Amino acid sequence: MTSGSGAPRIGVVTFPGTLDDVDAARAVRYAGAEAVPLWHADGDLKDVEAVVIPGGFSYGDYLRAGAIASHAPVMRSVVDAARGPRKLPVLGICNGFQVLCEAGLLPGALMRNAALKFICRDQWLRVENADTAWSSRFDTGAEILVPLKNAEGRYVADDHTLDELEGEGRVVFRYVTDGAQDGATNPNGALRDIAGISSADGRIVGLMPHPEHAIDPLTGPTDDGLGLFLSALDAITGAPTLTGASS
Amino acid sequence: MARVAVDVVIKPEILDPQGKAIVAALARTGHPGVSSVRQGKHFDLEVDDSVTDADLEEIAENLLANPVIETWTITRLQDADAPVAR
């Protein structure tokens, strides 16, 4: 379904405490889609063809980051649409990633950074799987530079889950640690340097860094992040670059 | 009415950097004998008599704790102010 303008409709969710919905909507528009605001208390997804859960501090991060938001009316609709026959593509960025994990759409959890510091910097990521609804515009192995800004970005899951993610190619983005100083590994202690993962069918992706802040060199470190949103457009319009969404 | 305590702690195999920071602070404040601290959450619930143990288990598992990273214990407390506990 498309709007009168014919552009694909991508929803951008706002919870109380969401910060990055404006930039996420801008990234959606840069990619050529119509950004449709979705409100946390409203379960109506307004015929969108994909959804972005942006970053911030939904519900003040009370209880656990993303925990309260994962039970909001809009999330019940997102979960149903993502798991249902539509296989709605969903991208969770930072707090949005935390929400997707809390909602059970993605495995694992995000915990306090190992060094207990809020990290705000530009971060190199390696694209490990260019076969998802949100990464098909990249080449596998490509390195992209996007901002990272969070206090609770340490991805954890049990070994079985981690092995499963690796085995199924569901680690989509990994922190680039080559050349790190002082033997340092990744920025936050994330297990296996995981920055972002996907669902088994590649339609749902969550990552801690912020591609929506890197869509124009005028306002971000690069325009590398735009690739995620362009990928989603391909997934919506059925462009042939996407091959991983059939399972 | 009854009072219920739910205590949530991070699973032992998962790094708790806040706990480690507390151990370091204890050593600095003259308590070097404490070798481990695990930080958790304590919830005090007041529930009416219709809330069953199964309800409490669901509350803990689905909201108060994240089973991926945390374990929890549920304790029904006797409350002197309550006419009939449970």
Query: What would the pLDDT profile of B56-86 be if each residue is shown by its tens digit?
Result: 999 999 999 999 999 999 999 975 455 444 3
- Which pLDDT belongs to residue B80? 46
- Which pLDDT belongs to residue B1? 87
Average pLDDT over residues A207-233: 98
The SS3 assignment for B9 reads: strand
Cβ <8 Å between B68 and A109: yes
**CATH number for the domain including B40?**
3.30.1280.10
What spatial distance separates the first Cα and last Cα of chain B, rounded to whole Å?
A: 7
Nearest-CA distance A35 → chain B (Å): 31
Between A6 and A88, the more confident residue is: A88
A94 annotated active-site: yes
The model's pTM: 0.90
Query: What would the pLDDT profile of A115-131 be if each residue is shown by its tens digit?
Result: 999 999 999 999 999 99
Residues of A in contact with B69 (CB under 8 A): 109, 111, 156
Position B82 in a domain: no
A210 annotated active-site: yes
Cα separations (Å) of A96 from A167, B29, B34?
24, 39, 37
Q: Do A54 and A18 meet the contact criterion of CB atoms below 8 Å apart?
A: yes
Position B84 in a domain: no
Query: What would the pLDDT profile of B5-28 be if each residue is shown by its tens digit?
Result: 999 999 999 999 999 999 999 999
Q: Do A121 and A148 meet the contact criterion of CB atoms below 8 Å apart?
A: yes
DSSP-assigned beta bridge partners for residue A155: A110
- Residue type, position B46, single letter: E
Average pLDDT over residues B40-53: 96
Nearest-CA distance A116 → chain B (Å): 7
Helix (H) or strand (E) holding A146: strand A143-150
The SS3 assignment for A20 reads: coil
> A67 to chain B: nearest residue by CA?
B63
Cβ <8 Å between A112 and B68: no
pLDDT level of residue A242 (50, 70, 90 thresholds): very low
Q: Which residue has the tokens 């670059």?
A: A241
Q: Do B4 and B50 meet the contact criterion of CB atoms below 8 Å apart?
A: no
pLDDT higher than threshold 70 for residue A208: yes
- Which pLDDT belongs to residue A182? 53
- Report the distance separating Cα A67 and Cα A72, nearest Å: 9
Average pLDDT over residues B20-45: 95
Cβ <8 Å between A113 and B66: no
Position B85 in a domain: no
Residues of B in contact with A158 (CB under 8 A): 13, 68
pLDDT higher than threshold 80 for residue A221: yes
- Which pLDDT belongs to residue B38? 95
pLDDT higher than threshold 60 for residue A157: yes
pLDDT higher than threshold 80 for residue A134: yes
Position B12 in a domain: yes
Q: Is the dihedral of CA A180, A182, A186, A192 positive or negative?
A: positive
pLDDT level of residue A187 (50, 70, 90 thresholds): very high
Please give the residue range of the domain that contains residue B14: 2-77
- Report the distance separating Cα A229 and Cα B64, nearest Å: 34
The SS3 assignment for B43 reads: strand
User: For chain B, how many structural domains are there in total?
Assistant: 1
Position B86 in a domain: no
Position B10 in a domain: yes
- Within a 10 A sphere around the Cβ of A170, how many other Cβ atoms? 24
Which is the catalytic residue, given A34, A40, A94, A101?
Answer: A94
Position B83 in a domain: no
- Which pLDDT belongs to residue A184? 57
Residue A51, CB-side half-sphere exposure with 13 Å CA sphere: 31
pLDDT level of residue A10 (50, 70, 90 thresholds): very high
Position B55 in a domain: yes
Whether the CB of A101 is below 8 Å from some CB of chain B: the reply is yes
- Which pLDDT belongs to residue A245? 46
Determine the residue among A59, A156, A161 to mutate to test chain B binding: the one whose Cβ has the most chain B Cβ atoms within 10 Å.
Answer: A156
